[in-house]
Each structure stands twice: as structure tokens, then as C-alpha cells.
Amino acid sequence: METIEGSPDKGTAFYETRSLQCGTRLLSLSTPVVMGIINLTPDSFYDGGKSGSIDQVLRQAGQMIEEGAAILDLGAVSTRPGAAEVSESEEKSRLYPAFSAIADRFPEIILSADTYRASVARDCCAMGAGIINDISGGSADSGMMPLMSQENAAWVLMHMQGTPQTMQDNPQYHEVGVDIADFFASRLSVKELNGKQNIILDPGFGFGKSLNDNFRLLNYLDAFLTFGLPLMVGISRKSMIYKTLNSSPEKALNGTSVLNTIALLRGASILRVHDVAEAVETIKLVSALNQQSVIR
């Protein structure tokens, strides 16, 4: 793949240690890890409404941890295409009780808050969040980057064209991989970040991308390694799978494993998924393959 001009070289803390500071924890990424998705919304595209009561949330969290998740990502705002906006107060009322309950029951797990609001991120960091997963890459709230520059929590810098309400209205790129690399480079150079190192890059599959854009992006994925930061891929049960297969999100698990395999081979360090056990198996198999490649 081509070199991304103007990007940081591989002399970064991540490349030197293959680890990531997540709040008070140090997460090893010498082998890729799984981030399990816990949606606290009634209208997410695949599992909306499944995590209703706190007891249900705790059962789901416990199962994901047992299956091998290293991170749990809690979100209280649906970001599917065309999703309705959710007020800040509603997001907090959905998110905080579940976040607090999981933190109390499973203190060993790294928790991620899926939010683009700085005020929510601040509160979750105070509750022990190790990661803030911001789908807007700091674009939705001007307070996010200054906040994250001061917090020990890792920050997911994701690319999205438009908003969840508009992002699939004929998205356009000159060249999707290059355009997103330019976005990353511009965001990483913003002075408000104050040289923050514990950043995760997410190209945002399905967030303002056509089906063809998504597959071009998957082909381009290893070019983003030039930034010297861990890559997260979230393609679990998304439309690039089920629309290509003329299927549905419910039938897209096998396709998810196939594309997660490709993502791992192209350098992904974190797989964000609904189905933890299958993703853990995918990582084990790809890791075995990579070990043999090194030995040879």
C-alpha cells in the first residue's frame, strides 16, 4: 500500500510496546482483542432492545467476558443510518446505571463509553471508563478533544461522513482510503490533543460509505498502520455483509467472521463485535497462521 504523506512514523509508544493505556489499565495488543457491543438502545440495527433491564445487561456482560472479551463498549444512542437524535439527558439516563452496574460487578473488565458528547465522556471517565469511543472523531462536540487530551482514557478517533441522520444520503469521496487518511492526519495534528498517544483509529465502516466504499476501505486498511496507532474495525453484521449477500443482519454472522479475518490480516488490533466467541476464535486462527508465517 502507498505511504501516507505527513503521517507519524512507527516510532510511537504503541509500536514500541504493542500496548495501550486505557485509564488505569494497560491493555496488551500484542495479540488482537475483542470489544463486545452492549447496546442500551431500543432501535439499534441488529440488537436494539435486547439489553433492557440492569439484570439483562449484567448477564450479557458476564457472557461476553466469559467468552473472551477484553473490552465492553456501552452505547445509549443508536447510530444506525437515519436514527433519531437522542437528547443528552436521555443518553445519560440509559447509559449511567448500566455503566455503573457493570463497573461494580466486573471491575476487571475495561469499559468503553460509546458517546460523542464531551459531558457524557467526562462522567464516564470519572466512573472508570478506559476508552471513549467517539463516532464523530471530535467533530460533534468541540469539547471532546480538549477533554481527551487531559484524560488517561484511550480515545477512539472514528471517521464519519455527515451524521447518522444524513450519512447514507449519497456519500461521495475522491478516494475513500486517501480521504480518510487525510482526515486522520488533520485530526491528529490538532493542537488541543497536546500530543496524546493513546488513540485508536477507526475508519468507520458503514458510516457515510457506500457498499463499494466499504470494500475499498477494507482493502486499504493496512495503509493506516503508517500512523503508528492501533486500528479498530467494526463491521459486525453490517450492511456491507448482508446487502452483498442479499440476507439480513440476523444471518450475517458467517460473513462477519470472513471480513474480520481479512481485517486482522490487514492489521486490525481490535474487533468490535456483537458475537464475542466467534471473534475470539477468528483471532486465534489468524494468530496461528501469522505465527507460522514468522517461523517460515
Q: List strands edge to edge, sheet with 232-233.
A: 199-202, 154-158, 131-134, 110-114, 71-75, 33-39, 270-273, 232-233
Paired strand residues for 158: 202
164: CB partners within 8 A, 6+ apart: 78, 79, 80, 81, 82, 83, 135, 207
| Catalytic residue chosen out of the listed positions 94, 122, 187, 272 | 272
Residue 115, CA distances (Å) to 17, 131, 267, 272, 283 in order: 28, 10, 25, 15, 27
104: CB partners within 8 A, 6+ apart: none
Task: Provide the phi-psi class of 102: left if phi over 0, else alpha when psi is between -120 and 50, else beta.
Answer: alpha
Annotation says 272 is catalytic: yes
| Catalytic residue chosen out of the listed positions 117, 209, 238, 266 | 238
Catalytic residues, by residue number, are: 238, 272
